[in-house]
Chains A and B, each alone.
Chain A
């Protein structure tokens, strides 16, 4: 029995049935980590003994009948911008290299209450700012499918850990695509919930009005099960929302009959890689053949999402990251002259280039004289983008498109040109601006064997529709082999679905 082939839900069931133990599951994960971690570098902080001890403790509680949660005994990896009590939390920054939180994020507490066991903390772009996990102060994470490529970001460590079998599922955070894009690049499922569904308490803030925590999993049922555990209202996060319909696993039925799916024409234009386009349209076709009503439409304002996002996110980041001043926690410069100089030197030495870039841009767009022209303007365009989605969801239940314009870029290719890297967020970013839920599901691989994801977007609070469609597609697609060997060949979608895809032979094509 290879425990690592189990999904999180399957593992929990096996542990409940006494066929496996939490300790065996943790041992399996740790041995995979021993085998792969040196090359992949998915984790920033990992304490093998502590993880094993936690698994032993959990197993005892399961046997005593004290722990009956849906995820009891399942090892989980947590993105390193989520506070974990007593466990170092760095945000992949030198600034927090020695920071030990005195409390855990509510999302982490929810997981622990459901019986999940934390393995360690996963690598990310510094303070979640980046799309490749290369801005980490602790080395880049490699894509498990090809070590010469990035895993995506900013939750790249979480996505790589799930893909490589270095955990059974992981937590990430998504401010502009940071769960969905690495999920797509690493061939795993990633979901960004409706804003306010998961408490942000204990998540180190980047862009507070956009940040949302969510799961990265091996399949859609795991995703629903984890979301069910995460989605609770929390008085400690004033933007947290009370939701009545959090029985997400009940939505896992393979039926999309009559579901109206819109495909934004603007998502398939210039800049989209041909292989990505083909795989994503094949997924749309599969859903259409299963009874969904799929058609193209014009989602306006698409090209304005990136400038709007980077203005708002940078503004919020410049404010949120003011707290890192070398006084209360984290890094402090060794040489300084007075308090003000202490702040400046600490921040200059503690932050990496991308973080400084965004703090400076944010400070500028919020400064007097420019506030109206940039920040306020962006907030107005954000309102217009939300309206465009409201109009779309008056006609459609779901929007379907790519997650990213390409498959995972090669290491080192993105950082030389920040603006080019930002443009890669084109299909994910407006979802955060409008507060919508969206999921990335693997839908194929390119010729080089790198995974491709299809993105489904739903209206606010419509996670159940989202999960139902994602589950239906996953069932139609069949098993998507998680990465076991980076040299493994391509397994294109057409072989599994028995049909080739091209826009020409889709009835919603142009």
Chain B
């Protein structure tokens, strides 16, 4: 395998992806990701100099409109889906 994923890399990816991985999951992830990156490295065979990266197949431009409210107040329905809510707000653990 050309791509050896280090413990540090998997730790870092875990932080970026906000995932807490077990040791077993980490080992599996190192293997899977290494294999995928080996495969993706095929793209290196292609000369892409002078090619503009394309994120959308159509030119996407900002769509401007007046900021007019078209929907009503759906806060109570929305909060029905919250794992925890209080006084019309989402409840999260203490952060400070």
Is B69 part of the binding interface, using a Cβ–Cβ cutoff of 8 Å? no
Interface size on B, residues (CB 8 A): 50
B82 touches A382 (CB 8 A): no
Interface string of A376-400 (1 = CB under 8 A from B): 1111111110100000000000000
Q: What 0/1 readout, one digit per residue, does chain A (415-427) give for beta carbons within 8 Å of chain B?
A: 0001100000000
Contact, CB under 8 Å: A356 / B19? yes
Q: Is A235 an interface residue (CB 8 A)?
A: yes
- Which applies to chain B's interface (DSSP): helix, strand, loop or mixed? loop
Complex Cα distance A364/B15, Å? Answer: 11
Q: With an 8 A cutoff between CB atoms, is B88 at the interface? A: no
User: Are B57's CB and A386's CB within 8 A?
Assistant: yes
Partner of A367, one of B12, B37, B78: B12
Chain B CB within 8 A of A28 CB = no
Q: With A196-B58, A386-B57 as given contacts, are A364 and B82 in contact (CB-CB < 8 Å)?
A: no
| Contacting pair B17 A419 (CB below 8 A) | no
Q: How far is the CA of A325 from the CA of B62 in the complex (A)?
A: 28
Asked whether A364 and B42 contact (CB < 8 A) given A328-B82, A380-B52, A383-B54, the answer is no
Nearest A residue (CB) for B38: A419
Which residue of chain B has its CB nearest to the CB of A417?
B35
| A325 close to B18 (CB less than 8 A) | yes
Which of A260-268, A306-314, A469-477 has 4 or more CB atoms under 8 Å from chain B? A306-314
Whether B13 sits at the interface, judged by CB under 8 Å, is yes
Residues B33 and A339 in contact, CB atoms below 8 Å apart: no
Whether A376 contacts B53 in the complex (CB less than 8 A), given A235-B65, A239-B58, comes out as yes
Expressed in whole angstroms, the minimum distance between the Cβ of A309 and any Cβ of chain B is 10
**Complex partner residue of A339 from B62, B74, B93, CB under 8 angstroms:** B93
Query: Can you list, as one digit per residue, whether each of A344-382 has a CB less than 8 Å from chain B (1) or not (0)?
Result: 110110010000110111111111000000101111111
Q: Identify which of A9-17, A107-115, A330-338 touches chain B.
A: A330-338
Of the A-B pairs whose beta carbons lie under 8 Å apart in the complex, a sample of 13, sorted by A's number, is A98-B81, A100-B80, A100-B81, A195-B57, A235-B63, A238-B60, A307-B43, A330-B83, A345-B20, A348-B21, A366-B16, A380-B54, A381-B51
Q: Which residues from chain A sit less than 8 Å from chain B, CB to CB? A: 98-100, 102, 195-196, 209, 235, 238-239, 241, 301, 303-304, 306-308, 310-311, 318, 322, 325-332, 336, 338-345, 347-348, 351, 356-357, 359-367, 374, 376-384, 386, 418-419, 433-435, 460
Give the interface of B toward A (CB within 8 A): 9, 12-14, 16-21, 25, 29, 32-33, 35-37, 39-44, 46, 48, 51-58, 60, 62-63, 65, 74, 77-78, 80-84, 90, 92-95
